[in-house]
Structure formats: C-alpha cells, structure tokens
Amino acid sequence: MRLGLIGDVHAEDVRLEVALARLGAERVDRLLCTGDIVDGQGDVDRACALLEAHRVATVRGNHDRWIREDTMRDLPHAHVMTALAPRSIALLKTLPPTLRVDTPMGQLLLGHGVAERDMARLGPNDTGYGLATNDALLGVLFDASVSILVGGHTHEAYVRRFERGAAKPPLVVVNAGTLARDDAPGFVLLDLGARRVDFFSLGPACEVTLRSRAVL
C-alpha cells in the first residue's frame, strides 16, 4: 500500500494541484489530508474542489473548525463562510475530526494535531517532559490497534517511532507538513510495502524535489 499524505493546505490551490499530480504519477493507492483547508493566500474554493475531485480523505483542522465557529477570523488571510462557494461550505461541514484506515502494518489513524485533538502538538524533537505530558499522544500509545499516526498542525514534516514494549507493535508517527508557501511547503509518500517515507519539497515555482527518505 502506497499512501499520499498532504499536510495543512491553507488554501494553496496551485501547490495542492502539483502535489496531487505528483502523487498520482507515483501511483498511490489512497490520498489522505490533515485538513486546515482554509485561511491562506490561495483560492480556497479551488482547493476544496481539487480535494473532492481527487477523492482525498480529509479530516478537520483547527482552522476548519474556527471558520465554522466564526472565531479567530482576525487572523492574516482568514476566510469567512459567507464568502465561500456552496460546495466548499458543504465540504467543510462534513469533515470528521479523525479517520481510520486499515493497512498491512495495522490501523492508521489520521488526525490534524494528535488524534482527536486538533490543537495538540508533537514536534520532531520532543523528549522527556514534553512527551510525558502529551496526553493526546499517550492515548494513542495505549491503543495498540493503532500502528501509524498521521497528523499535521505544526507544519514540520517528519517521521518518528515510539516503542510500546510488552510485545506490542511500535507506533509510527508521520507528520505530513504543510502546503503553506511561507513554511517550507511539501508533501509525503508513505510506502508501506517498502517501509519507507519519502519527503518532497515544493520550490518557489512549485518545482518538486525529493528532499529526504526515511525507513519505517
């Protein structure tokens, strides 16, 4: 199984289109997105249309929640529901907080932050107290049915492995990064057959570069 992972979109329709085209050329079996579709410098209606057209399984980010609550609308490049196309509004209203996908490695849990908590953060270098007090992460670690946790929110693409012990399978955490132009945009290919994670960067002209690879 090959999965295309798209991080926080933030209305970047052009970068989303490029990412979808490359992942299509990579012949992925499924496309997953960590949400935050709204609040950015591109065309949010076109971004929504692209996600629908390519059947991207997308969860709700905190920005998608905020626009529905009509809160935090004083943020830079914020959108409002009344300015969106009806199909975009319908999509935003149906986004679930999480999705589960069966994979050959076990169950994959897709969320925006960490599992159900869209504001929970897990960084690539969090250790010690930062991990011990991350209740959202601990909740997933105690759920041995979840082998892969995919999230976004921090706009930092990475992969981490957490051992569970007691003969339980480890938890692999993959952050899909972001498409936001000001935050090192890119996307991820998760190849479960090869047990490999490919991290792609999107340059200023949306040129695609394989930035790095990691082994699961």
Q: How many domains does the chain have?
A: 1
Owning domain of residue 125? 2-215
Rg of the chain in Å (alpha carbons): 16
CA separation for the pair 72, 179 (Å, rounded): 21
- pLDDT tens, position by position, 33-43: 999 999 999 99
User: Does 193 have pLDDT greater than 90?
Assistant: yes
CB 39 within 8 A of CB 75: yes
* Torsion sign over Cα 42, 43, 49, 50: negative
pTM as predicted: 0.95
CA separation for the pair 60, 165 (Å, rounded): 32
User: Residues 6 or more apart from 196 whose CB is under 8 A from it?
Assistant: 213, 214, 215, 216
Inter-CA distances, 180 with 9, 36, 89, 110, 184, Å: 6, 10, 21, 20, 7
Q: Tell me, what CATH number does 113's domain have?
A: 3.60.21.10
Query: Phi then psi for 215, rounded to 5 degrees?
Result: -100, 135
Question: Looking at residues 166-191, what average pLDDT do you find?
Answer: 95
Tokens standing for residue 96: 């679930």
Residue 14: which pLDDT band, with cuts at 50, 70 and 90? very high
User: Does 44 have pLDDT greater than 90?
Assistant: yes
- pLDDT tens, position by position, 53-83: 999 999 999 999 999 999 999 999 999 999 9
CA separation for the pair 152, 178 (Å, rounded): 7
CA separation for the pair 158, 162 (Å, rounded): 13
